[in-house]
Amino acid sequence: MKKGLVAAAVVAAIASLALAGCSSSGAGASGSKTIKVGFAQEGAESGWRTANTKSLQAALDSSNGFKLNFSDAQQKQENQIAAIRSFITQGVQAIVFAPVVETGWTDVLKQAKQAKIPVILEDRDVDAADHQYIASRVGDDFEKEGETACKWIVDNFAGKSANMVVLQGTAGSSAANDRTTGCGKVMKGSDINVLDQQDGNFTRAQGKTVMEGFLQKYGSKINILFAQNDDMGLGALDAIKAAGMTPGKDIQIITIDGTHDGLTALSNGQFNYVVECNPLLGDQVAQVVKDVVAGKKVDKLYLAKDEAFDQAAAKQALPTRKY
């Protein structure tokens, strides 16, 4: 009896898949004006990601001529691969996705290619070997962000032989790797002494604990904190206060992202410099999707313009900040 049920369910599932395949390929060929697009977001781990999701959902809205299928992979690659596969079976005309990690996408990207569905990357990158399956990427230049942040540090502490600690992002993520590389470039030969760097996993909680450790270890020797995202810097604030020091004065704090909370801390004088990592990529992505579907030639890479804020600029920008 049970076996019969399972078999029936399997048959039904296969049938529905086949049906979905049929109907979707029909829609794809008809070339109707609305563009069916699937967006596989990697998760909702930070304020930055929230802003990014909202931007894409707004840009790929029906009022702009899109029909959006949205999926949140909760920071798991297998979920994201499953989402992309289902987009392929649904026969969308374009797939947009923000890869949670760099590697392991070859199979599913090949499938998309065979189904003649263009894939556009948003935000993070995939491994260079898989670039052949990608129509285009719209993202931020992480290396440049690291460079800009550390350039400010080098300029402001020129000739002062200051000590810096670094809260790195999730070990192995392209954002953390590239920001470290970018910062290292400008740090070379400067007066800044990097005391220590540790993984803070891009979260407030770990930013706080790791900073506590740094403070116990080096105490008032620390002059500069470079946190590779706002959240870790915000977590570190409490630790610095508990150590009897004033964030922004005793320890100057430089972060990357430019979220609302980060800029608020900057305008309060708790942070000293914030490099933006622009999450509002929606409009640019929407344009690329339109061009690709229309068969126009597009560039392989579009980099968003990232601004940088000091305390005065933050006060100005804050009231109109979208994220």
Q: Per CB under 8 A, does 238 bind other proteins?
A: yes
Total length of the chain:
323
Q: How far is the CB of 217 from other proteins (least distance, A)?
A: 6
Q: Per CB under 8 A, does 213 bind other proteins?
A: yes
Which one of residues 99, 183, 208, 222 is an interface residue with other proteins (CB under 8 A)?
208
Task: Please say which residue, 136 or 180, places its beta carbon nearer to other proteins.
Answer: 180
Distance CA 285, CA 137 (A): 8
Q: Which amino acid is at 228?
A: Q
Enter the tokens of residue 55: 């931007």
Distance CA 17, CA 90 (A): 9
- Taking a C-beta distance cutoff of 8 angstroms, is the pair 40, 97 a contact? yes
Q: Per CB under 8 A, does 19 bind other proteins?
A: no
Between the alpha carbon of residue 178 and those of residues 80, 138, 199, 287, 303, the distances in Å are 23, 16, 14, 27, 14
Distance CA 55, CA 281 (A): 7
Q: How far is the CB of 167 from other proteins (least distance, A)?
A: 10
Q: Per CB under 8 A, does 75 bind other proteins?
A: yes
Instruction: Tell me how many residues contact other proteins (CB under 8 A).
Output: 34
Task: Please say which residue, 27 or 195, places its beta carbon nearer to other proteins.
Answer: 195
Site track 24-63 with other proteins (rule: CB under 8 A), x = hit? -------------------xxxxx--x-------------
Q: Per CB under 8 A, does 242 bind other proteins?
A: yes
Q: Per CB under 8 A, does 198 bind other proteins?
A: yes
Complete DSSP assignment for 278-323: ----HHHHHHHHHHHHTT----SEEEPPP-EEEHHHHHHHGGG---
Minimal CA–CA distance to 183: which of 232, 211, 142? 142
Q: How far is the CB of 267 from other proteins (least distance, A)?
A: 15
Quote the strand ranges of 78-118, DSSP E: 94-97
Of residues 244-273, those binding other proteins (CB under 8 A): 244, 261
Task: Please say which residue, 256 or 298, places its beta carbon nearer to other proteins.
Answer: 256
Q: Per CB under 8 A, does 222 bind other proteins?
A: no
Q: Which residues bind other proteins (CB under 8 A)?
A: 43-47, 50, 72, 74-75, 168, 171, 196-199, 201, 203-205, 208-210, 212-214, 216-217, 219, 235, 238, 242-244, 261
